[in-house]
Amino acid sequence: MTPTLVRNQLGADASAPADAGTLARDWAEIQERMLAPLYEAVYDRMEVGAATRMLSLGCGSGLAMLVAAARGAHVTGVDSDRERLALARARLLPDAGWDDTPAHSPHPARRRARLLEDGRPAPAGADGAPYNLITVFEPIGCAAGDSEGLVPALRSAVPLAVRGASVVLTSWGPPERCATAAVLRVAARLAESARPPRTEQQGRWRPTLRDDLEDVAARAGLKPDGSGRVSCPFGYADVGSAVRGLLSTGLFDAAVRATDRSQVEKEVAEALHPYQREDGTVWMPNVFRYLVCVT
């Protein structure tokens, strides 16, 4: 395992039989905003602003970066998912590249943001100063092995930050506090129907454990310094958009491989019925957790 942070190490599987571009768009257009309360809560806790030099590991399509930049932070995003990164670029800088933008550019985001496509963090932030905040907003805890790539990525990134920098890790909350857990169990059941060998278990849904984040922090050599829980309800216009959004997370990839996409979509839609309102919208209360660490 290299220290490069790659998407399938954080929950999704690059070999899933679905169009990568479609999944990335569904994530950016439907699912990513469900985590906006988590981003805001972390930024409030960390007092993110003009003095913040943030490294976002697994930045995806860039919503968390956009929120931080709006607060004045200098942000560097790292990911190896080219489809999501292309959407991040279009979202943040629709008419210019990131890395080659002159420092005197009149666009404030261009002076504060940088995107790295090879999955490896650069040794300094967007303004040349060392990082003082590292974030991982790809929640762990719902897929077997979803933290395996995170530990080496953190070990690679931490030396690039100032001494005493903060690191924020995130995870799903307890299953009993997450309505979506009932739908995710469909993924586990369908994936198990194929009875794959143990070597193919990585990426399969499993219940979140209480100490998932603390375990990652310990293995990465980080010291916990507080935590919090944030309500992140998943709300969708209809069942169809809910199915698309949930499948874009990557948590159903193993189920798709074990059966087929149409069967997974059908069974997920059925599992969503208890959360569908009279007007056709879907509403699932969830709780996510974050752990603040110091380097």
Contacts of 100 (CB under 8 A, 6+ apart): none
Mean pLDDT to the nearest integer, 84-110: 60
Q: How many residues appear in the chain?
A: 295
Per the prediction, the chain carries an average pLDDT of 84
Q: What is the pLDDT of residue 150?
A: 92
| Domain locations along the chain | 7-175+206-234+286-294
Between the alpha carbon of residue 18 and those of residues 12, 138, 199, the distances in Å are: 12, 20, 22
Q: What is the pLDDT of residue 19?
A: 83
Between the alpha carbon of residue 7 and those of residues 16, 73, 84, 195, 209, the distances in Å are: 12, 24, 10, 25, 21
Model pTM score: 0.85
Least confident of 62-76, 98-112, 210-224, 273-287: 98-112
Structure tokens at 201: 């278990």
Q: Does residue 50 register a pLDDT over 50? A: yes
Residue-wise pLDDT for 122-140, tens only, equals: 666 656 689 999 999 999 9
Residue-wise pLDDT for 4-49, tens only, equals: 343 443 334 433 445 889 999 999 999 999 999 999 999 999 999 9
CATH code for the part of the protein at 7-175+206-234+286-294: 3.40.50.150
Q: Does residue 280 register a pLDDT over 90? A: yes
Mean pLDDT to the nearest integer, 222-232: 97
What is the rounded CA–CA span in Å between residue 75 and residue 61?
14
Q: Does residue 198 register a pLDDT over 90? A: no
Q: CA 122: distance to chain centroid? A: 20
